[in-house]
Every structure is written in C-alpha cells, then in structure tokens.
Amino acid sequence: MSGSSHGASLAFGQAVIGPPGSGKTTYCHGMQQFLARLGRRVAVVNLDPANEVTPYERAVDVAELVTLPDVMESLKLGPNGGLIYCMEYLEANLDWLQEKLAALRGHYFLFDCPGQVELYTHHSALKNVFAQLAKWDLRLAAVHLVDSHYCTDPGKFISVLCTSLSTMLHVELPHVNVLSKMDLIEQYGKLAFNLDYYTEVLDLSYLVDHLASDPFFKNYRRLNEKLVEVIEDYSLVSFVPLSVQDKESMRRVMQAVDKANGYSFGDQEHRSLEALMSAAMGADFHFTSTLAVQEKYVQSEDEAVQEEEEMDV
C-alpha cells in the first residue's frame, strides 16, 4: 500500500468514530457481516487500545503495539490522557500500521476507533493517522455514530450537532453522520418533532422555541440561537438513521458511505457506467424537477395575466 503504485494499490474503507457507547464496535461487526454477504473481503482494524473484547475477528489490532492499561500503569495517566498518549504513539509508529495493512491488500477496511471526543474535535494524532492513510492510497469516509436517544432531549441534540460539525471540520474526511440504535428510540421517550426533522436538521428555530419552554433553558435562549446559527450557516450536518439489525437500514448507510469515499464510482463489483451515472445524477434530477415546477408556475402566472387582459378588453 505505497503511493508509488496508485492504481493497483487503491483501497477503500470507513473510519468509524463517535462518543463512547454510540455503538462503534457493534456497527463494525454488523457492517462486516453485511458487506461480506455482498462479496466484499472485509478487514476490521481495531484502533481502540481500550477495546479488550470484540465480537469480530481483528485483522489488525493496535493492542499489539500499545494498550491503554499498560500506558495508564507505566505513565500514571488516567483513561483520557492514556488514550491520547496511545494515539500519539500510534502516530509515531505508523510504519507498524503500514506493514499490517500492506499484508491485507485487496480488502475493504473498517477502522474501529476510540470513543474519546477530543480526538475528533481538536487533538491532531488521529487526524494525522487518517491523513497518512490517504497518502497510502486508502480512500476513507468517516462514519460518525451518534446515539439516537439524544433526539429526545433538544438541549443534548444541539450539543450533538455542534460536536458533529466540529468533528467534520477537524477530521477532514468525507463524512457520514449516523443516528445509531434507531430500534431503541421509542424506549428513550417521545420526540418533539418528526424523525426527518432530526435527520435532515431542518429549521432549528423550532428547537430553540421548544427549549425556551423549559425554565432552565429560557435563560440561555440567546446562546442557543447563536449555536443554531453557526450550525445552519455551515449547512453540513445531516444524519442517516441506522438499526444494525435492519438490512434496509444498513444498505442505506452503505450507499451513503460508498458515495462519500468514492467506492461506488470505482470498478469494484463490476459497476457499470449506467450505475455510476444514476448515482451521480441524483442532485441534477432534483434540480431538474424543481426547474419544471418553476416553469409550470411561471406559465400558469402568464396565463392568469393573459386572462385578466382579455377580460378587461
């Protein structure tokens, strides 16, 4: 997987990121099984030095290089400081990772990443690892998992939107935000708005109004309005809902990721030019249909003016 043989060594994969408990390891296991049924050779790479037990077989395991318990014990660090040290150690020993990945040429990669939010919002080690993977002709998309229970609390959902936006800007990878554990969302409580409001991140002023009805958040209305303005000004954040047990849900996430990292535009799985064009024309078709409605509206307006003129005559 060196940069010298670009065409032959081009590979694709997903960097599965997100806060603790968002379902990253479960996602990697489910996506590995799903893609394997489609005929893809999938290798799961565990980059979480705190991951002691996983349901999937680890093709590459960072624990062979460094483990969190060892770092915490030898350097007297806490879990957060230990994880940051582990990622910096991985960054300093990328030749180890390159050798491991080179042995898996021809595979589609799933990188199961640590759950520390700082690693994706402002610390540079993991970002630099991803950048080096790109130099090795590994085309990655970041799959950012967020637990869907945050939708039931408007205040937490605004926080999630800010974190997702910050992650997208910092990590610098094609990004797919995913609302995980959708099969459990009804257990978390009633949603204030329809699900598409949260997945499409529609007019967030309604969310601010909803928050203002709470006496605690009423004092922070101005702050929430400004946070919402930042999110809407960038207009980058949207979510794909996911239930790992639902095949249709997994297919939608897979298609979104395949477009993000470019897999669906390659020659894998013998994709035809027609399939590539149908994937690429989605936005154009939407524009064309909007244009047709606009033309119809203008035409009917002209007809109405013409009728008025005839009546005046």
Domain boundaries, the chain: 11-201+237-268+278-308
Q: What is the pLDDT of residue 106?
A: 93
Q: What is the pLDDT of residue 266?
A: 64
Q: What is the pLDDT of residue 108?
A: 97
**What tens digit of pLDDT does each residue of 268-304 get?**
554 444 444 455 444 443 344 334 434 443 444 455 5
**What tens digit of pLDDT does each residue of 102-132 get?**
999 999 999 999 999 999 999 999 999 999 9
- pLDDT less than 70: residues of the chain: 1-8, 266-313
* HEC-encoded secondary structure of the chain: CCCCCHHHHCEEEEEEECCCCCCHHHHHHHHHHHHHHCCCCEEEEECCCCCCCCCCCEEEEHHHCCCHHHHHHHHCCCHHHHHHHHHHHHHHCHHHHHHHHHCCCCCEEEEECCCCCHHHHCCCHHHHHHHHHHHCCEEEEEEEEEEHHHHHCHHHHHHHHHHHHHHHHHHCCCEEEEEECHHHHHHHCCCCCCHHHHHCCCCCHHHHHHHHCCHHHHCCHHHHHHHHHHHHHHCCCCEEECCCCCHHHHHHHHHHHHHHHCHHHCCHHHCCHHHHHHHHCHHHHHHHHHHHHHHHHHHHHHHHHHHHHHHHC
Q: What is the pLDDT of residue 310?
A: 60
CATH topology of domain 11-201+237-268+278-308: Rossmann fold (3.40.50)
Q: What is the pLDDT of residue 138?
A: 96
Q: What is the pLDDT of residue 313?
A: 55
Q: What is the pLDDT of residue 276?
A: 43
Mean pLDDT (the chain) is 85
